[in-house]
Amino acid sequence: MHISILGSGCANCVTLERVTREAVAELGLTAEFEKVTDPGEIASYGVMRTPGLVVDDQLLLSGRVPTAAQVRELLEPLVTAR
């Protein structure tokens, strides 16, 4: 699983990465994390407000910081689809 955190590195971006790592650990997944800070690349995902969460090239959310439980809910369907 490849996870990209989209944003400038602000506090919300850091928090999104932290809660996403928590969710990945709780689900027992292995994931590679990447921080995407380039505005052009962020815009290529259609993100107008950061932070953004992309998993395996699929945009799951943007413009808000979810809880670890909410990220788990977003990831669970992707895990069962594998």
Active site residues: 10, 13
Cβ(42)–Cβ(80) below 8 Å: no
Neighbours of 29 (CB within 10 A): 14
Backbone angles phi, psi at 42, to 5 degrees: -60, -45
